[in-house]
């Protein structure tokens, strides 16, 4: 795990000294710069900074229009946020077994798909990638959305592609015990402009309520 050093202390000091701590109309544009750099690193067109990986998962599902009555397939071995995010948008998490890699077993996914299934959340656990080729094939076959949970695999790759850039939306977590730390934070990435715009609207609604 990385520890805080002089560079991190100076960066935080600069922000605090500016007394400009709110993201909107922030002259330093620290969050904007991070989103631009993170999108470039992952290889997507858009990135949205959030408060946590959990927030990234919830916002992603909401942007996809997933809600009450919908089913979302999640692995049986993961952090609880993967399933609780599904519950947070009113949908139903459907648990699927993992294989010897400790990531979701593609062979078991197809057995759990029903007419109510709307998405799959493959979790790249402990830095190990899921079998995204087979998962994307299932998504195409059954017209399902993919939200990659890369909260424990920031910067990891699968066959030359950054984890989080393969599905419809990728999610990340940046807390003290993760690969990258912002104290506590998260992000989502996507190549879909509409999903990015929906995520922004969902985030605004969560922060400010209906306009």
Please list the active-site residues: 178
Collapse the DSSP code of 54 into the 3-class scheme (helix H, G, I; strand E, B; otherwise coil) and give the result: helix
Collapse the DSSP code of 46 into the 3-class scheme (helix H, G, I; strand E, B; otherwise coil) and give the result: strand
Cβ neighbours of residue 131 under 8 Å, at least 6 residues apart?
101, 103, 106
> 46: buried, middle or exposed (CB in 10 Å: 19+, 13-18, 0-12)?
buried
Cβ neighbours of residue 57 under 8 Å, at least 6 residues apart?
81, 82, 85, 121, 147, 149, 171
Task: Calculate the alpha carbon distances from 165 to 74, 143, 147, 198, 205 in Å.
Answer: 18, 18, 10, 18, 26
What value does the CA radius of gyration of the chain take, rounded to a whole number of Å? 17
């Amino acid at each position: 795990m990385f520890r805080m050093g002089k560079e991190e202390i100076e960066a935080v000091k600069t922000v605090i000294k500016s007394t400009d701590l709110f993201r909107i109309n922030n002259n330093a544009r620290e969050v904007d710069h991070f989103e631009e750099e993170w999108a470039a690193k992952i290889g997507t067109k858009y990135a949205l900074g959030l408060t946590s990986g959990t927030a990234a998962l919830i916002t992603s599902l909401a942007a996809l229009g997933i809600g009450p009555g919908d089913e979302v397939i999640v692995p049986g071995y993961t952090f609880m946020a993967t399933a609780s995010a599904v519950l947070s948008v009113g949908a139903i998490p459907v648990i699927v077994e993992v294989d010897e890699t400790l990531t979701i077993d593609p062979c078991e996914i197809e057995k759990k798909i029903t007419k109510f299934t709307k998405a799959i959340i493959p979790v790249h656990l402990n830095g190990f990638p899921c079998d995204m080729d087979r998962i994307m094939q299932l998504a195409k076959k059954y017209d399902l959305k993919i939200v990659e949970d890369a909260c424990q695999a920031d910067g990891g790759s699968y066959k030359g592609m950054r984890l989080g850039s393969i599905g419809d939306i990728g999610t990340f977590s940046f807390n003290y015990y993760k690969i990258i730390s912002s104290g506590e934070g998260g992000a989502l990435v996507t190549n879909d402009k509409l999903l990015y715009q929906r995520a922004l609207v969902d985030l605004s609604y969560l922060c400010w309520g209906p306009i």
